[in-house]
Structure 1
Amino acid sequence: MSENQNPSVGQDVTASSTTTSTERFADPGVPEHKLRLTDTDPAANKRNERIIVLLFALSCVGAIASLVAYFAVRPDGTTEGTRLSTVLLGVTMAISLLGIGFAAIHWAKSLMSDHEHVDERHELRSSTEVREVAVQHLTDGVEDSGIGRRGVLKGAAVSALALFPLTFAVPLISSVGGDWDVAKFKHTIWKRGTRLAYDPSGRPIKASDLTVGSVAHVIPEATEEYMASHEWITEKAKAVVLLVRLNPADIRSDQSPAGETWSYDGIVAYSKICTHVGCPVALYEQQTHHLLCPCHQSTFDMADGAKVVFGPANRALPQLPIAVDDGGYLIAQDDFSEPVGPSFWERLK
């Protein structure tokens, strides 16, 4: 075999092996500690302490303002009043909490000890000697931070931390013993003969206004005086309805337990309040007749009694039985078939 000829099959070929050693480098250790301005300049140290005290004081002011806003600016039943109360509570609570947060961060960065420490790995439970050293380190850290010498700073921090929980504790406690009458959720202002009206205009709806596939957001017809009252806002929220006109042949379930028909010529009306947590359901898919709640994706079949086909809701949407009066307007036969909204302790399903 010539020198240029490849070795035959099965002939062993050994390649020279080379060993490489891992290059090691020295542990750089902890870098040299750099002193801060507050470590070398007593005036800067005192100035930062005053800033932290002011931040804690701002937190105290925010907490007190939150309590004042809660008692002085109560929701009056109007949209503007509810919005004002919510904004004031949110802003004052934010000031209180942010004051504590910014003060804590500034305290840690400017006054507390920033010396670097290295702890070697050890077993889960350290030896008694190591534990004693750790405790000593903590003690030294407290001493080094000067907490014991900063009475004003300690007082400001304690005051801010003590006052902030009141911003949510007082509203929570004050609600105890409030109105727990769930009977008001069992009935709405819908009654026999009440006309269905468009939301928000209040214009009555004729059956002839709707074509197959039409969707309308509905409220009970009411006088202008009643619609301007505070009571209307609460009652309207319970009585909102979604009206859909289906092909009558597509409706699979539309009867009361007594066998009465609750729709009119394919027009069905159901509560808009999801039976999961009360979100407004209004996303209608015409091809499947499914109604989707945007909050948690509970899905209801409008052609089958608004029964749940998907999601966390555990009962169908209450149906509003409807008919038509002599003028061709859609009217309610009665109130909803059952309580609207989420389940509660008197109604588990």
Structure 2
Amino acid sequence: MSHEEEPQALEKATPSSGLAVAVTDPVQNPGLPPHRERMTDKDPAAMKRAVRTVYTLFYISLAASLWAVAAYMLFPIESGDFGAIRNNNLFIGLGIAFALLAIGIGAIHWSKAIMSDKEHIEARHSTRGQESTREAAVNVFREANEESGFGRRTAIRGSLIAALVASIIPGVTLFRGLAPHGSNDPDHPLVGDPVALLKHTMWKKGDRLAHDPSGLPIRAADVALGSAVHVIPEKLKDLSHHDGYLEEKAKAIVLLMRLLPEQLPAEHNRLEWSYDGIVAYSKVCTHVGCPVALYEQQTHHLLCPCHQSQFDVSRGAEVIFGPAARPLPQLPITVDAEGYLVAMSDFEEPVGPSFWERH
């Protein structure tokens, strides 16, 4: 092409926008890289070692799961000893961690060293709920079984199933810790029975109501109108953690509120259990036992933050919203000769969740 023809040729090749268009050939499919055989594909001895490694890992997982269950029994947390609690958490955690880790490492090693190593291309296509689609799905599972060797390699299959089943056991075992445990208190004749354990708290006649957590007793005159005070028995401060401090506090915690006496209608309240508009109710929600700690002084509503159950203090703490099934148990109170608020007795019904079978 001469220099005189060059501008004319460029003009034909240039679109009206003024941008030159480069015409190239379509990108060619480079294909798959050359297949490189694994050592286990070339050496039967290496394949046997890989198989042994995989099922050994699965059996290690099985042993770790059993160890987690054993640790739960060897280091009981019911004793209240901090050393036992630390060991319980440590060894159960290590058992579960090794159980899951061994399954994961074994599954990865199985897929990398033993399963079929042939590359293939899966074409994209629309999926519809037709018979051909269902048959294709069945074929996929059949091919996966053949390639993985799951159906043929009984040692791996058996060890994997055993490890997976065992890995669930520690979690199931830990649910045992959610149930109430027995007590040496003579006031608990039905040792281990939830009804007896939750029906009786450490409140006794004449026990002073005290601030939580300081343990300072509360005068009736110091309770402001519209206030909500977190309360524990005064004698709770004399207990140590080794003597069941947390267990007793969990059952005995109370919320103290003061309303105008006329805001407590007699048809909805036991006025003999209150003093000058001051009422005390269990702080343990009757749904699943969360602490009821939010008080709205204008509406006199108590709110449980866990599942939004609401209780109306002006109507005997009855349930007005949410999943709770019964009102909060009321603690009967009065004042002593020095003007301190005291309990008239223990709660007259079990505190806490309503799903316990109550007498």
Identify the TM-score tier after normalising by the shorter chain.
Answer: 0.7 to 0.9
Instruction: Say yes or no: does 1:145 pair with 2:148.
Output: yes
Q: What SS does the corresponding residue of 2:273 show, helix, strand or coil?
A: coil
Alignment partner, residue 332 of structure 2: 321
In 1, the alpha carbon distance for the partners of 2:339 and 2:139 equals 87
Given the superposition, is the C-alpha separation of residues 288 and 34 from structure 1 closer, same or farther in structure 2, using an over 3 Å criterion? Answer: farther
**Selected match of 2:287 from 271, 276, 299:** 276
TM-score (normalizing by structure 1) = 0.72
Given the superposition, is the C-alpha separation of residues 37 and 292 from structure 1 closer, same or farther in structure 2, using an over 3 Å criterion? Answer: farther
CA contact (8 A) 2:311 2:319 kept: yes
In 2, the alpha carbon distance for the partners of 1:278 and 1:150 equals 50
Shift in Å, 1:216: 1.9
Given the superposition, is the C-alpha separation of residues 39 and 229 from structure 1 closer, same or farther in structure 2, using an over 3 Å criterion? Answer: closer
In 1, the alpha carbon distance for the partners of 2:346 and 2:212 equals 18
Q: Which stretch of the first structure deviates more once superposed, 137-146 or 240-249?
A: 137-146
Structure 2: which amino acid aligns with 1:247? Answer: L
| Identical positions, percent | 47
Pairs within 5 Å for 1:213-232? 213-222=226-235, 226-232=239-245
1:120-166 deviation per Cα after TM superposition (whole angstroms, max 9, x unaligned)? 76763349xx95x8767655544433457756644542442343233
Structure 2: which amino acid aligns with 1:65? Answer: W
CA contact (8 A) 2:194 2:356 kept: no
Alignment partner, residue 190 of structure 1: 203
In 1, the alpha carbon distance for the partners of 2:103 and 2:40 equals 26
Instruction: Say yes or no: does 1:164 pair with 2:164.
Output: no
Given the superposition, is the C-alpha separation of residues 302 and 134 from structure 1 closer, same or farther in structure 2, using an over 3 Å criterion? Answer: closer
Alignment partner, residue 223 of structure 2: 210
CA contact (8 A) 2:269 2:315 kept: no
Structure 2: which amino acid aligns with 1:92? Answer: G
Pairs within 5 Å for 1:331-342? 331-342=342-353
Structure 2: which amino acid aligns with 1:99? Answer: A
In 1, the alpha carbon distance for the partners of 2:247 and 2:150 equals 53
Structure 1: which amino acid aligns with 2:78? Answer: D
Given the superposition, is the C-alpha separation of residues 84 and 318 from structure 1 closer, same or farther in structure 2, using an over 3 Å criterion? Answer: farther
Alignment partner, residue 8 of structure 1: none
Please provide the CA RMSD for this pair.
4.1
**Selected match of 1:240 from 240, 245, 253:** 253
**Selected match of 2:96 from 61, 79, 93:** 93
Given the superposition, is the C-alpha separation of residues 320 and 105 from structure 1 closer, same or farther in structure 2, using an over 3 Å criterion? Answer: same
Structure 2 residues without counterparts, runs of 5 or longer: 1-25, 183-191
Given the superposition, is the C-alpha separation of residues 308 and 79 from structure 1 closer, same or farther in structure 2, using an over 3 Å criterion? Answer: farther
Structure 1 residues without counterparts, runs of 5 or longer: 1-25
CA contact (8 A) 1:255 1:261 kept: no
Shift in Å, 1:319: 0.9
Q: Which stretch of the first structure deviates more once superposed, 335-344 or 317-326?
A: 335-344
In 2, the alpha carbon distance for the partners of 1:331 and 1:112 equals 73
CA contact (8 A) 1:78 1:233 kept: no
Alignment partner, residue 321 of structure 2: 310
In 1, the alpha carbon distance for the partners of 2:165 and 2:59 equals 12
1:69-106 deviation per Cα after TM superposition (whole angstroms, max 9, x unaligned)? 11111113427344653454344224323432443345
Given the superposition, is the C-alpha separation of residues 60 and 225 from structure 1 closer, same or farther in structure 2, using an over 3 Å criterion? Answer: same
Shift in Å, 1:279: 0.8
Given the superposition, is the C-alpha separation of residues 249 and 39 from structure 1 closer, same or farther in structure 2, using an over 3 Å criterion? Answer: farther
Pairs within 5 Å for 1:101-180? 101-108=104-111, 111-113=114-116, 115-117=120-122, 124-126=130-132, 131=135, 141-147=144-150, 153-154=156-157, 156-169=159-172, 179-180=192-193
CA contact (8 A) 1:275 1:342 kept: yes
Shift in Å, 1:304: 2.4
